[in-house]
Amino acid sequence: MKCPYCGCEDTKVIDSRVNEGKQRRRRVCPVCDKRFTTYEVIEHPEILVLKKNNTYEPFDKAKLIRGLSFAVKKRPVSGTAIVEIAEEIENAASSQGQISTAQISDIALERLRELDGVAYVRFASVNKEFDSIDRFLEIIETLRGN
């Protein structure tokens, strides 16, 4: 690591610890004897989402959490459960480098079905683009049967 004061390229690490998910390192320069801190973070490869119109956009975990949060609004589902679903989807996508909106929807629906039927129907109504009451009834009957 290059010293920000004198430019020496041979600095020494004197302390290292994890801080807020980052590796924090205190360093000292052997030439000018000044100390400085560096942070090391893991760089995750970009995940692309294949949309229904065959375009790609970067995966946005916060956007997914917002969508899931709307589905569970005023339902007995914890925020941690929502974050776990989003992380499961992110992990599935990161192994392939991309994921389709249909795959995201399927994984989310599978998990929501286990957690709360109302949240499942809410999420499905938006992501499966229900166009009639009959489609709602089909989903509700499927939930009742299981």
Look at residue 62 in the predicted model and tell me its pLDDT.
93
Condensed to tens digits (0 to 9), the pLDDT of residues 60-102 reads: 999 999 999 999 999 999 999 999 999 999 988 988 889 999 9
Residue ranges covered by each domain of the chain: 1-43, 48-145
Q: What is the DSSP string of the chain?
A: ---TTT--S--EEEEEEEETTEEEEEEE-TTT--EEEEEE---PPPPEEE-TTS-EEE--HHHHHHHHHHHHTTSS--HHHHHHHHHHHHHHHHHHSEEEHHHHHHHHHHHHHHH-HHHHHHHHHHHTT--SHHHHHHHHHHHHH-
pTM, 2 dp: 0.65
pLDDT tens-place string over residues 112-135: 999 998 999 899 888 877 788 888
Per-residue pLDDT band at 146 (split at 50, 70, 90): low
